[in-house]
Amino acid sequence: MLRSSLRIPVRKYSSVKFPEAAMKSSSDTPVAHKPSIRQFSSALYHFFLIASTTYIGLHTTWVLLEYTQKENELLQRTVDLENKIQELVDSKKAEIPRRRWFQFWK
């Protein structure tokens, strides 16, 4: 008794119930009824919900990976440019002899 009350219900994402085939009055061949779109609305809703959630998750992952890659490229470019600037400054300092400002007053 206790065991039956603790059962976990089964998830049902959609419940489409097709009516049983109706019998023609003149013969014994079954006639299938065409299901309406309303019967599939819950299934379509869940499909689009899961699909959009998956898309958003994958797109977010893609953007984060692309951001990390671009950030690494820009950091490397920054280091290269800083090194180039430092080389130019050092070469300019080597070209110009060091002068003191008070030598002009003599």
Residue 101 lies in a domain: no
Residue 80 lies in a domain: yes
pLDDT at 30: 60
pLDDT at 94: 82
Residue 103 lies in a domain: no
pLDDT at 6: 66
Residue 27 lies in a domain: no
**Domain coverage including residue 69:** 60-95
Predicted confidence (pLDDT) per residue in 50-96, tens digit: 999 999 999 999 999 999 999 999 999 999 999 999 999 999 888 87
How many folded domains does the chain comprise? Answer: 1
Residue 10 lies in a domain: no
Predicted confidence (pLDDT) per residue in 10-47, tens digit: 666 666 565 554 444 455 556 667 778 888 888 899 99
Residue 21 lies in a domain: no
Cα 54 from Cα 44, distance rounded (Å): 15
pTM of the predicted protein model: 0.50
Residue 90 lies in a domain: yes
C-alpha distance from residue 5 to each of 8, 10, 11 (Å): 9, 14, 17
Contact 73, 54 (CB under 8 A): no
Residue 13 lies in a domain: no
